[in-house]
Structure 1
């Protein structure tokens, strides 16, 4: 087997050829992830984290006899951390922006274990100060996680996984008119009543845009996402010029490959609810939602999402799953009954990293016991009990 090597570049030095190979890898990745796409990572670093010392590391396998161009076995976006609440020692993180909801790096099928191993070797030689590698929002038991486990076992590194949390997913078996009734149960009738009430104001239509995304579609989304409490609290994309610039550039990149997806609820020719979504491989990724606060009582955001479930067999039949990007207890959990478990994985390179992580866990457990009103044991007592 041809050897693997690591090639690290500042994010602003990645060439057009590199981006094309990165995008080609994304299309065939072991585990799809739109948030690891060059169309997401590079705009995020330019606009959301300017000045970040992030690097893009290409793990490449040489062509036969050195005659063919090296092919990427993986692409990692990495950022150094001096220490944070995850681990209070210097470490390296797989980069995620403030708007990233999944953390799996892109690995080529058949190269996952080797790519992780080569990354470990690269970090140990180029960043000897780095005590660990942190990957947040990784699917527990997914292809990337399993490759990581095997690579850690082979390298002799301890892998720590956090407690999992659940994320709502839309799967093909949970789509269509009958599935929508089943998902919503007693609330289905109320959703239909709200739909009829909104339609009293004019012709009500639902639309999906996947190929060419018109500027009007993007503008309507940004306007609605900024409306209401998000705009008032300053948490919308439009409230921050850098975030809007990121979104515009990111959407253009995905749309250039037919991988941006917007849904709209339009009343009398005006958009009153909109969602922005991304596609990577055979998986969709929900990004942001917006709706006109004048129709809040009628739940038009839910109506828009319900129409996607109803029409999915026709409009997204090519997708095997749709990740909601939602936090637990979100309204989307009833509409999208599928689940995936997400964890934070930490590759501990040495004993100090292991001890530091144990200290963090002990402090967190102690704080939880105090909050619950239970007595906390001293570290010495825990050690004796162990």
Structure 2
């Protein structure tokens, strides 16, 4: 499906399924993701196309893509599912793609074409308001520049983009770290605890940290990660990536898709020859998004997960790698809150250009705020 802008004849909006994404389109998609106003690894072609492989044909993600025809440039993209109703909007609408492995929703937007994209998106929703009553975003980075700008733009154009803050997630802004690094933010007891665990671990051999840079080693590194994760509590409750055939297929396809890019970053913490902890991270622009971590239970008394996350930050700084921030993608209350000093505000968003949906969304938002206020009283 192609939708053409009435106010800008150079712009068009495409509605695609993953199997309609040509090699050229995937290349443009990747370029947009890497240069987007706000990076989002969970909107990358590697992630979305891998997700598509484990979904039935009638449940494929909806890819909304905006292109400037004159410049032949992709200027915006989002990935959604069609739903009949949710608590936020009990009417048929689109929602950020529903996947247990996707921790951040949002939009990819070319920095030099923001207003053009906002205009095309809102025109499309106005034109199709009998079919698409709105777009709901979950796990949205609440303070993203595009989210704040789109809220202002829709308000000026008789629409609404309601943003509801919900929680905070740990992060570390590498540009703001003091010379002495993370320990400057820790309590005395925290510093002592980490030194104690590092000393305890070093008795098993020299501690090393590395990123798997040779793509030919990815399969072996992934296999090691999957074995450790499966042998942990995640395997016991069935949430490890190797626990189901679908998840195995997903991560194997994602690893294959990442062979030609820097998207997948596999990290390892070692003591001597032993891999103590290992993690899968995603790169988007100048940001790392933490995805999964696993550790060897033989070293559990050394808190290997904590030591890995400390070593990751130290390594990125010492090697001067081109990353500005790490988003932990963790839930509120994560152990990372005691390690990483910064926070990412997470919330939900409801974009509507339909008067009925705007009113319903406003009522639901007010009810949610009231419920939260009453909860805080108890």
| TM surpasses 0.5 | yes
Which secondary structure state, in structure 1, belongs to the residue aligned with residue 329 of structure 2? coil
CA contact (8 A) 1:211 1:260 kept: no
Residue 195 of structure 1 corresponds to 198
Seen in structure 2, the aligned counterparts of structure 1 residues 259 and 222 have a Cα distance that, compared at 3 Å, is same
Seen in structure 2, the aligned counterparts of structure 1 residues 276 and 192 have a Cα distance that, compared at 3 Å, is same
Seen in structure 2, the aligned counterparts of structure 1 residues 2 and 359 have a Cα distance that, compared at 3 Å, is closer
CA distance in 2, matches of 1:152, 1:358: 14
Aligned length: 369
Residue 4 of structure 2 corresponds to none
Instruction: Note if 1:317 corresponds to 2:321.
Output: yes
**Aligned partner (choices 68, 72, 77) of residue 61 of structure 1:** 68
Residue 102 of structure 1 corresponds to 104
Residue 72 of structure 1 corresponds to 74
Cα offset, 1:371, TM superposition:
5.6
Residue 288 of structure 1 corresponds to 292
Residue 204 of structure 1 corresponds to 207
Seen in structure 2, the aligned counterparts of structure 1 residues 261 and 177 have a Cα distance that, compared at 3 Å, is farther
CA distance in 2, matches of 1:232, 1:50: 31
Residue 170 of structure 2 corresponds to 168
Residue 113 of structure 1 corresponds to 115
**Aligned partner (choices 222, 231, 234) of residue 230 of structure 1:** 234
Which secondary structure state, in structure 1, belongs to the residue aligned with residue 309 of structure 2? helix
**Within 5 A, what are the aligned runs for 1:235-314?**
235-314=239-318
User: Where does structure 2 lack aligned partners over 5 or more consecutive residues?
Assistant: 1-7
Which secondary structure state, in structure 2, belongs to the residue aligned with residue 80 of structure 1? strand
TM-score, with structure 2 as normaliser: 0.89
CA distance in 1, matches of 2:199, 2:179: 16
Residue 159 of structure 1 corresponds to 161
CA distance in 2, matches of 1:257, 1:372: 46
CA contact (8 A) 1:134 1:346 kept: yes
Instruction: Note if 1:18 corresponds to 2:25.
Output: yes
Residue 139 of structure 2 corresponds to 137
Residue 345 of structure 1 corresponds to 349
CA contact (8 A) 1:224 1:272 kept: no
Cα offset, 1:72, TM superposition:
1.0
Residue 16 of structure 2 corresponds to 9
CA distance in 1, matches of 2:186, 2:252: 34
CA distance in 1, matches of 2:19, 2:267: 33
Q: Which moved more, 1:101-110 or 1:199-208?
A: 199-208
Cα offset, 1:349, TM superposition:
2.4
CA contact (8 A) 1:54 1:78 kept: yes
Which secondary structure state, in structure 2, belongs to the residue aligned with residue 306 of structure 1? helix
Cα offset, 1:323, TM superposition:
0.8
- Partner deviation per Cα, 1:47-105 (whole Å, 9 max, x = no partner): 257641422122111126xxxxx321112222211001222111112325221122121
CA contact (8 A) 1:139 1:341 kept: yes
CA contact (8 A) 1:81 1:91 kept: yes
Q: Which moved more, 1:168-177 or 1:182-191?
A: 168-177
Seen in structure 2, the aligned counterparts of structure 1 residues 370 and 171 have a Cα distance that, compared at 3 Å, is closer
Seen in structure 2, the aligned counterparts of structure 1 residues 357 and 7 have a Cα distance that, compared at 3 Å, is closer
Cα offset, 1:226, TM superposition:
1.8
CA contact (8 A) 1:48 1:243 kept: no
CA contact (8 A) 1:93 1:135 kept: yes
CA contact (8 A) 1:274 1:291 kept: yes
CA contact (8 A) 2:171 2:344 kept: yes
Residue 381 of structure 1 corresponds to none
TM-score, with structure 1 as normaliser: 0.87
Seen in structure 2, the aligned counterparts of structure 1 residues 307 and 111 have a Cα distance that, compared at 3 Å, is same
Q: Which moved more, 1:118-127 or 1:141-150?
A: 118-127
Seen in structure 2, the aligned counterparts of structure 1 residues 254 and 147 have a Cα distance that, compared at 3 Å, is farther
Q: CA RMSD in A?
A: 2.4
Seen in structure 2, the aligned counterparts of structure 1 residues 270 and 176 have a Cα distance that, compared at 3 Å, is farther
Which secondary structure state, in structure 1, belongs to the residue aligned with residue 54 of structure 2? helix
